[in-house]
Structure 1
Amino acid sequence: MRLSLVSRHPFEYPVDPDICHFILKWMAMKSLDVSAVKAFVLTAELQSFTRAADVLGTAQSAISLKLARLETQLGRRLLERTPRSVRLSAEGLAFLDAARELVATHDRAAKSFETQPRRLVVGVSHLIVGSALPALLRQMRHHDPALQLEMRVAGTRDLMQAYERREVEASLVLRPDDRRKQGRVAFSQSFHWFAAADWKPQREQPLPLATQGESCRVRNAAVRALDRAGIGWNEIFVGKGAAVVGAAAAAGFAVAPLARQTAPANTIDIGSRLRLPAIPAQDVLLYSALNDARSRDALRILCLAFQ
């Protein structure tokens, strides 16, 4: 006996709309470009096309093109773009967790055979540790799961001594006073005058300052700028670390010269309102003798966390 299988017409079978929707969605997700999804995750977390491009080592235009294609493929607008900011749309927020999971799974698979553990000890100046750090550290963990990163957060002088004693393998610090030559400029850090949102100056009183004392390069640059502008000042709070100085500003106690990313959430830049002079930007130098590609990649991503 000879059997033959003949397909029935597809419309002769009952069709469940939910199943069809699931299959179509699965097919679309199956063909997603992981590099585009990674670009979306970074752009969402860093709120910047430029910084996402820096992390991925590509151009901003390439990131924009990847995201446009991803949005077209999904039929959803994932990001709201304005001239001054990038933020998640409602649909982008709904997609973000799944996108993170997809990227993390892909990176783990890609690194399956690179399981050799690596310990990297890095010193970072407390003057530049900002709010973008968690997102970049997460990206670093996904990029190299076997990398054990250890961080020492302190002042420039302490970190340079630790570097010379080989207690840390790399240091990211404001340019030391002795102008050491072996470091390379990672970026230029700007500083501004921050105070509590409801802070008001006292009439005919010197500007109350919160600083880290005379050993701090930022403090010295700030008070020199005030002196040149003929603005009186009084150093009423001295503490160690940007978080401590920022707390004095947030409490309405004083005005603090801080990097924008280190300023507390409830403070504002009052420089233009009070016509305070600009604080000269400071070079941030990376000191490292590490030459292997794995370490260089890790340090490149780490530097981006503080810009």
Structure 2
Amino acid sequence: MIERPLDLDAVQAFLHIAELGSFTRAADAMRTTQSAVSLKLKRLEERLGCRLVERTPRSVELSAQGAAFLDRARDLLAAHQRAVTVFAGARQRLTIGISDHVAGPELPALIARMNAQDPKLLIDIRIGSSGELLQRFDRRELDAAIVRLHAGRSDGQLLAEEKFGWYAAAGWQCRAGEPLPVATMPEPCGVRGLAAQLLDDAGLPWTEVFVGGGVAAVSAAVMAGLGVAALARRMLPFGAVDVGPRLGLPDLPHLPVLLHARVADGRAGDALAALAAAYGSVVRDQGPSSIRP
């Protein structure tokens, strides 16, 4: 008697739960409800005759059987994708703009996640400022944009909010009696504008000592000891420290990260949903270690 085959949607739900560490995030990635994901997992566990996930009010962990099944589940879905790809036809392009203040060290893993979702999808990623990317999105040059909240915009899907701080190299000291040296990105960077406004409102003298064309350049200036910069903890180079409390600098708020998209259905929509769920997971956990390709 032939065994009943595994439900591939249920296997996919299990993988999302395992990789994102959350039923809610798995539901976001699959564009369904949390209850539907729970039901898929329950049916898969019944089919396999074992518990795959240990769920508590505070965490979601794989059982020993779930950990053993994880690689086999990946292999199963990869084999299925290879079989489908033979007949899939031409690649579909998905063009995504990602703000430089948003694209962090986990970007390779996020791209790998999208590729795993659909290897036949042609992923086209553009990095720039939030304002520039939103203009390109409005001109329909981008299918989607992941950016910081931008003045004058009230649209977009909230992915997460992340805390910013004033960071400098370990051991760096501000010279007494001199304006605060600040490394920034060029205008019209929204983070730059916010930081400048907060310093001005607090009556703190400051001077711009470095302007970088990207977060990597600003981080390099910080670690070179030029001064401080307003950065998200997720974007920090190793060894940077938050000097805001020590220097009495104004608190920087949690800044929203928004997804603007006109792609909702089909292969591109599925890949974008997986990207949004994975990115939201990274930002909420404040570090790249929580995501695996």
TM value normalised by structure 2: 0.69
Matched, 1:186 2:140: no
CA–CA distance in structure 2, aligned partners of residues 82 and 201 of structure 1: 44
Q: What is the deviation of 1:217?
A: 1.0
Within a 5 Å distance, the mapping from 1:67-146 to structure 2 comes to 99-109=73-83, 113-146=87-120
CA–CA distance in structure 1, aligned partners of residues 49 and 225 of structure 2: 47
Q: What is the deviation of 1:60?
A: 6.7
Which residue of 171, 186, 192 corresponds with 1:199?
171
Q: What is the deviation of 1:82?
A: 11
Q: What is the deviation of 1:86?
A: 8.1
Larger radius of gyration: 1
Q: Which protein, 1 or 2, shows the higher relative CO under an 8 Å CA cutoff with sep ≥ 6?
A: 2
Partner of 2:208: 235
Cα pair distance change 1:96/1:237, threshold 3 Å: farther
CA–CA distance in structure 1, aligned partners of residues 209 and 14 of structure 2: 45
Q: What is the deviation of 1:199?
A: 3.4
Q: What is the deviation of 1:113?
A: 5.0
CA–CA distance in structure 1, aligned partners of residues 131 and 37 of structure 2: 39
Partner of 2:221: 248
Partner of 2:283: none
Kindly provide the CA deviation profile for residues 119-174 of structure 1, in whole angstroms up to 9, marking residues without a partner as x. 12222211101233333322222222221111111113432443354433333333
What stretches of structure 2 of length at least 5 have no aligned partner?
281-293
Secondary structure at the aligned position of 2:213 is classed as coil
Partner of 1:3: none
Partner of 1:167: 141
Q: What is the deviation of 1:88?
A: 9.1
CA contact (8 A) 1:192 1:271 kept: no
Number of residue-to-residue matches in the alignment: 276
CA contact (8 A) 1:132 1:305 kept: no
What percent identity do the matched residue pairs reach?
A: 42
Cα pair distance change 1:39/1:274, threshold 3 Å: farther
CA–CA distance in structure 1, aligned partners of residues 249 and 235 of structure 2: 20
CA contact (8 A) 1:47 1:87 kept: yes
Cα pair distance change 1:105/1:270, threshold 3 Å: farther
Partner of 2:286: none
CA contact (8 A) 1:173 1:285 kept: yes
Kindly provide the CA deviation profile for residues 226-285 of structure 1, in whole angstroms up to 9, marking residues without a partner as x. 333344433211111122112222334322212333222443444455553332344444
Partner of 1:210: 183
Q: What is the deviation of 1:64?
A: 8.6
Secondary structure at the aligned position of 2:230 is classed as strand
Secondary structure at the aligned position of 1:279 is classed as coil
Opposite residue 279 of structure 1, the aligned amino acid is: L
Cα pair distance change 1:245/1:137, threshold 3 Å: same
CA–CA distance in structure 2, aligned partners of residues 194 and 90 of structure 1: 42
What stretches of structure 1 of length at least 5 have no aligned partner?
1-26
Within a 5 Å distance, the mapping from 1:146-165 to structure 2 comes to 146-165=120-139
CA–CA distance in structure 2, aligned partners of residues 103 and 194 of structure 1: 44
Partner of 1:23: none
Opposite residue 202 of structure 1, the aligned amino acid is: C
| Aligned-residue CA RMSD (Å) | 4.3
Partner of 1:5: none
CA–CA distance in structure 2, aligned partners of residues 194 and 47 of structure 1: 30
